[in-house]
């Protein structure tokens, strides 16, 4: 049986286009505000949602996501709120994954986390700090619950390592387009294109590119060579800079529609 995420990539490939995947931390800008934002993103035409599990000591997150995660944590966001947001996104008709560092999964209980992901309609989990060598328990739990295991590769990942990591992935391969933390960039590095080309030599899985996309033109460029375009910091910035949640949702909708158009212009 396939996940909603896998089905989505089949559909977008059949339509000869990339998918737009939106990232938002659970509980940001508020518990209800996050759900309102997801509803706006669904209406704007995004293809899937990646929900961030807010964490106090992030490895991969830049200042924009860190600020949002801090606001979320101060509002009391934990596992219950993450799963509630996950279910809401699923009920909106969006394939949904959770991005989380390993510690919250381990504290929650590995098998229980995978099981609750499935129970709430989740397609898979992005685990940026979990190595494949330490993944046996997660691999077994995810497989038993029928959810995707999504690992992150970077420009520094060797070809030999790419083959090993992608062999353990399902759903898609998360390609971090540059070295460093998340955040919107004014210019995109060519390393994303090169990395995707290398990943394609190792696997037939879809490849989604994250880190840096914030404009329609950038989305168009990445959609020209990747199967998915992941946007997080730009969406979060639209909400952070708004004077109210209502105006933030308006800005989010405008940006989402621009990025949806850019992704669909990519090929």
Residue 73 tokens read as 């944590």
Which residues, listed in sequence order, are joined to residue 52 by a DSSP beta bridge?
25, 99
Residue 149 tokens read as 């295991």
Run of H or E residues at 21: strand 19-25
Residue bearing tokens 């899937």: 48
**Residues marked as catalytic:** 50, 61
Buried b (16+ CB within 10 A) or exposed e, 111-137: eebbbbbbebbbbbbbbbebebeebee
Contact 153, 131 (CB under 8 A): no
Phi/psi for 138 (5° steps) reads: -65, -40
Residue 170 tokens read as 């399902």
**Strands across the sheet with 152-153, in order?**
148-150, 124-126, 96-99, 48-52, 19-25, 228-231, 207-210, 173-176, 152-153
Which residues, listed in sequence order, are joined to residue 50 by a DSSP beta bridge?
23, 97
Cα angle 93, 170, 48; round to 5:
25
CA 175 vs CA 7, 128, 156: distances in Å: 20, 11, 11
Q: What is the CA radius of gyration of the chain?
A: 17
């Amino acid at each position: 049986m396939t996940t909603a995420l896998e089905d989505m990539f089949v559909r977008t490939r059949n339509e000869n286009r990339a998918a737009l995947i939106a990232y938002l931390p659970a509980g940001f800008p508020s518990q209800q505000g996050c759900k309102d934002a997801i509803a706006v993103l669904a209406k704007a035409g995004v293809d899937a949602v990646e929900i961030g599990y807010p964490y106090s000591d992030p490895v991969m997150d830049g200042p924009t996501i860190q600020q949002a995660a801090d606001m979320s944590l101060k509002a009391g966001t934990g596992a219950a709120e993450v799963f509630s947001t996950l279910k809401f996104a699923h009920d909106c008709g969006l394939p949904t994954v959770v991005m989380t560092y390993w510690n919250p999964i381990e504290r929650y209980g590995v098998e229980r986390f995978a099981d609750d992901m499935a129970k709430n309609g989740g397609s898979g989990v992005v685990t940026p700090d979990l190595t494949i060598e330490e993944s046996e328990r997660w691999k077994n739990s995810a497989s038993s619950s029928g959810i995707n295991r999504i690992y992150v590769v970077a420009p520094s990942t060797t070809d030999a390592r790419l083959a090993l990591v992608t062999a353990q992935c399902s759903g898609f391969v998360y390609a971090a387009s540059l070295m460093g933390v998340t955040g919107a960039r004014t210019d995109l590095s060519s390393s994303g294109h090169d990395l995707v080309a290398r990943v394609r030599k190792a696997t037939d899985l879809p490849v989604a590119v994250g880190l840096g996309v914030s404009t329609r033109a950038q989305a168009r460029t990445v959609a020209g060579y990747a199967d998915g375009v992941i946007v997080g910091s730009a969406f979060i910035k639209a909400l952070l800079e708004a004077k109210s949640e209502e105006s933030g949702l308006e800005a989010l909708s405008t940006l989402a529609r621009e990025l949806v158009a850019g992704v669909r212009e990519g090929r």
